[in-house]
Amino acid sequence: MERRDKLKIIHDMLVAMQDKGGKIKPTHLLYKSNLSHSKMQLYLEELFGKGLVKEEHKDTNKFYVITQEGIKFLENYRKIKEFTDSFGF
């Protein structure tokens, strides 16, 4: 399996949220992102820090929700991926 770079991991996590209608439970995210729990927490901290994701609570459930910034990131990701592929570094 090809090793993912940081941008790809962030992209995969955000896509997982988007595919679930914009919000996802932690356990589902763990499964979809294909990361260990500790790695996922590290990346989530970064996503919170960058404002790409926020946390929501409904009844006793916790959800991670993709923000507008997160959606913008996904739109820009394609451009960034194309740019990095064009140079190949």
Partner 1 sequence: MAINEILLTPSWFISLESLFYIISMIVTFAISFYSYKVYKLSENRSYKYLFVSFFAISFGFLFKILSNLMVLYYDKLSPYHIFNYLKLSYIYTGSLVLYAFLILGGYIILACLASKVSNRKVIFSLLLISLLCAVLVDKARSFTFFYFFSFVLLVVYIIPYMYENYQKKKIRSSYLVFSSFLLLGIANFSFIIRTVYPYLRFYALGQFISLIAFIILLISFILVLKK
Interface with partner 1 by CB under 8 A: which residues? 5-7, 78-80, 82-89
Cα–Cα distance, 3 to 88 (Å, whole number):
15
Q: Which is nearer to partner 1, 31 or 80 (CB)?
A: 80
Cβ–Cβ under 8 Å, residues 69 and 51:
yes
Q: How far is the CB of 37 from partner 1 (least distance, A)?
A: 22
Cα–Cα distance, 78 to 15 (Å, whole number):
12
| 61-66 sheet: strands from edge to edge | 23-24, 61-66, 53-58
Q: How far is the CB of 73 from partner 1 (least distance, A)?
A: 8
Q: Which is nearer to partner 1, 38 or 86 (CB)?
A: 86
Q: How far is the CB of 53 from partner 1 (least distance, A)?
A: 15
Q: Which is nearer to partner 1, 39 or 80 (CB)?
A: 80
Count CB atoms within 10 A of the CB of residue 29: 22
